[in-house]
């Protein structure tokens, strides 16, 4: 029984290592292929065509370095957007308009949520 548990734990850890070894470009290809399959199931030919074009582009020019760089750039842009939203909220709090303050707070929360979502993505 102990040997079976040990073997199971080893296999589980190896499968995680193998998934981590998969390149970001391969993950992106698989994600696009999954989207293509879903679009086909829903009979959405326009989406299939667009996704197939995206898949061709990924296969032709994708590198992990490009993906990481683009992802880092999107995160930096989102952080810049959050800083802007914080400044706008601060200015609005000085003016004191309750409706505008609430609007700015919602925009800031949306921007922060988007940043967390970006940070959770692998690419």
Check residue 9 and give its pLDDT: 47
For the question of whether the overall pTM of this predicted structure is more than 0.75, the answer is no
CA dihedral of residues 103, 104, 107, 109 (deg, nearest 10): -110
H or E element, residue 15: helix 2-21
Average pLDDT along the chain, 123 residues, taken 10 residues at a time: 47 44 89 97 97 96 94 97 97 91 96 97 86
Residues 71-83, buried b or exposed e (16+ Cβ, 10 A)? Answer: beebeeebeebbe
């Amino acid at each position: 029984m102990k040997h079976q548990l040990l073997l199971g734990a080893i296999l589980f850890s190896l499968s995680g290592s193998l998934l981590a070894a998969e390149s970001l470009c391969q993950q992106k290809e698989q994600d696009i292929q999954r989207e293509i399959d879903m679009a086909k199931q829903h009979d959405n030919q326009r989406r299939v065509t667009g996704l197939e074009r995206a898949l061709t582009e990924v296969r032709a020019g994708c590198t992990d370095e490009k993906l990481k760089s683009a992802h880092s750039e999107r995160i930096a842009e989102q952080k810049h957007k959050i800083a802007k939203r914080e400044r706008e909220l601060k200015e609005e709090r000085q003016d004191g308009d309750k409706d505008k303050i609430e609007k700015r707070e919602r925009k800031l929360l949306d921007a922060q949520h988007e940043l967390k979502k970006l940070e959770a993505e692998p690419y």
